Amino acid sequence: LQHFIVIGNPIAHSKSPEIHQQFAKQTQLQIEYNRQYCPDDAASFSAVVEAFFNGGGVGANVTVPFKQVAYQLCAEQGGLSAHAQVAGAVNTLLLKDGKLFGDNTDGQGLVNHLLQLGWPLQGAKVAILGAGGASRGVVLPLIEAGISELTIANRTLSKAEDLIDQLRAASPVIDNLAPTSSAIEALTGHYDVIINATSIGLSGDKLPLDSELSCHYTYDMMYGKELPFLTHFQQQGAQVSEGYGMLIGQAALSFEKWTGASVDPSLLLGSQ
Ligand code: ATR
């Protein structure tokens, strides 16, 4: 029996235990996967992680608000994958040579979902809205998937510019692509794929999208009932999808890294 947890605050809503139990069923592995509440400070997070791995735990997922704290802890104690390094955030913890190692499967989980939907990324012209952690985490996997143009658009233009500078410094791959920045309302013309990585979510607010802005495919990294961002492009005839597939996708990659088994995330998605 292998033990896993997801650490967050709040954590009661997390769907990770159910998702991972389905992967365990697929691979015929016996696992225990629990939700782990943690007070919102770095010392508590560090203590929870230490106790879990000292107690024989195999792997932990990290969710809001601890992904950056987990990054710091891994940077100090063990190591980080390239994806975690560029993302500046860790969502997957494991032990490597007895030391704490941090990975980030969020961005690759998104890319895998887009490919599973049959959306072509090779040579694609892509715009990402938002310049926070969610946006930062998907840039490197998108570039590795072969996109050819990238614009990061944000409400606060200076934050998009800062993010691009940081990304370029973090990886030569990103520098080669020469991403550009934009204010959201100034983003216009046609894109192959537009991704909403802002936290505007279900707030009811609407992004100031230009009427001349269009795309073939639109993805909202949030998931939920009604996402005005998706409706905007759906009305123009674009194909749309939302972040539940990304949630499954990141979980599948974490499960595979922990257990060495391969899983099929599409079996959990039904018609989505
Ligand atoms: P996350 O880790 O989810 O990316 P974050 O780092 O707080 O969260 O970043 C939130 C992102 O959503 C930012 O890009 C933010 O824009 P600003 O940088 O201008 O703050 C964006 N965002 C949040 N609420 C928004 C709104 N009502 N309209 C437009 N953008 C919004």
Model confidence pLDDT, tens digit, residues 213-270: 999 999 999 987 778 899 999 999 999 999 999 999 999 999 999 999 999 999 998 7
Q: Which of 126, 86, 124, 125 is nearest to 103 (CA)?
A: 86
CA count, 13 A, side-chain hemisphere, 252: 22
Residue 272, pLDDT above cutoff 50: no
CA angle 238, 142, 132 (to 5 degrees): 90
Please identify, by atom number, the ligand 1 atom nearest to the C-alpha of residue 184. 29
Residue 59, pLDDT above cutoff 70: yes
Q: 180 versus 227: which is more confidently predicted?
A: 180
For 170, the token pair is: 């973090």
Question: How many percent of the chain have pLDDT more than 90?
Answer: 91
> pLDDT-derived band of residue 202, with 50, 70 and 90 as boundaries?
low
**Rg of the chain's alpha carbons, rounded to an integer?**
18
CA count, 13 A, side-chain hemisphere, 4: 30
**Total-model pTM:** 0.94
Q: How confident is the model over 102-112, as a mean pLDDT?
A: 98
Give the H/E segment covering residue 183: strand 180-183
Alpha carbon 92 to its chain centroid, in Å, reads: 11
- Do the Cβ atoms of 249 and 110 come closer than 8 Å? yes
Catalytic annotation, residues: 67
Residue 45, pLDDT above cutoff 60: yes
- Determine the distance separating the centroid of ligand 1 and the alpha carbon of 104, expressed in angstroms: 20
Model confidence pLDDT, tens digit, residues 112-152: 999 999 999 999 999 999 999 999 999 999 999 999 999 99
pLDDT on residue 205: 83
- Determine the distance separating the centroid of ligand 1 and the alpha carbon of 129, expressed in angstroms: 9
Contacts 24+ apart (CB under 8 A), 93-96: 93/49, 93/53, 93/59, 93/60, 93/61, 93/62, 94/58, 94/59, 94/60, 94/257, 94/258, 95/53
Give the H/E segment covering residue 32: strand 31-37
Please identify, by atom number, the ligand 1 atom nearest to the C-alpha of residue 135. 4
Provide the ipTM: 0.97
157 annotated to a ligand binding site: yes
Say yes or no: CB of residue 234 within 6 Å of ligand 1: no
250 annotated to a ligand binding site: yes
Domains plus CATH for the chain? 2-104 (3.40.50.10860), 108-241 (3.40.50.720)
d(CA 48, CA 161): 36
> What does DSSP assign to residue 39?
-
Q: How confident is the model over 171-196, as a mean pLDDT?
A: 95
Model confidence pLDDT, tens digit, residues 1-29: 999 999 999 999 999 999 999 999 999 99
* Closest protein CA for atom 11 of ligand 1: 198
Say yes or no: CB of residue 163 within 6 Å of ligand 1: no
- Determine the distance separating the centroid of ligand 1 and the alpha carbon of 28, expressed in angstroms: 40
- List C-alpha distances in Å: 171 to 68, 83, 134: 19, 10, 18
221 annotated to a ligand binding site: yes
130 annotated to a ligand binding site: yes
Among 69, 128, 139, 199, the mutation site with the greatest number of ligand 1 atoms within 8 A of its Cβ is: 199
